Amino acid sequence: MLVTAAAGVIFMRSAEDKVTADVVSRTERFSIPADWKLEDNVARREMFLCFDTNPCPSIYRRWNTGNEITADDLKAVVSKAGVEMKTDGTCWRRSNDIGVATVCSSSGNDGEYDYLINVISPGKNESDLAILTVNISSQWIIHGLL
């Protein structure tokens, strides 16, 4: 009985690792410029129980772009991702913005995952931050049971 339980745990963990590897590979499809500096990288692996408030698997990555980017720059990043992305915003900080402002974003869904890149301007004349999140698509509160 103990051997059967251990085999089940190993099988489940193997399946979870395969799903996690899939979402990481999907994230790698985005054409992130070599001069963007990765500042944060969080990967939540697939688990048996995943809740809507803490989706898994999911990826969160944040880069400092080193400058202010344009809408064309953002379109180039998402162009080879293999998913249709809709870009919103001009990527230009408005003169009346105070503090941190989202200047543009690009979002899409391939039927399995939701993709979102937000371009954030921390302040006037500061380098933009690009934040990529990839989450599993689900309307279920507990989607680990699907």
- Interval 13-66: pLDDT, tens: 444 555 667 777 778 889 999 999 999 988 776 555 655 555 567 788 899 999
Rounded CA separation 31/8 (Å) = 38
DSSP 30: S
pLDDT at residue number 12:
44
pLDDT at residue number 80:
87
Percent helix / strand / coil, the chain, rounded to 5: 25, 35, 40
Decide which of 64 and 110 is more confident.
64
Find the domain containing 59 and state its range: 2-145
Cα torsion through 96, 117, 34, 111, rounded to 10:
-160
Decide which of 23 and 78 is more confident.
78
Sign of the four-CA dihedral 134, 140, 142, 146? negative
Quickly state the pLDDT bin for 114 (edges 50, 70, 90).
confident
Whether 142 has a pLDDT exceeding 90, the answer reads: no
pLDDT at residue number 22:
77
Domains in the chain, number: 1
Nearest to 50 by CA among 115, 138, 116: 138
Percentage of the chain modeled with pLDDT above 70? 71
**pTM summary value:** 0.74
pLDDT at residue number 134:
79
Strand order of the sheet with strand 58-64? Answer: 37-44, 58-64, 129-136, 113-121, 101-109, 85-89
**What's the angle, vertex CA 11, arms to CA 10 and CA 17, rounded to 5?**
85
Name the least confident of 1-5, 40-44, 68-72.
1-5
pLDDT at residue number 132:
86
Average pLDDT, the chain: 78
Nearest to 66 by CA among 126, 116, 106, 124: 126
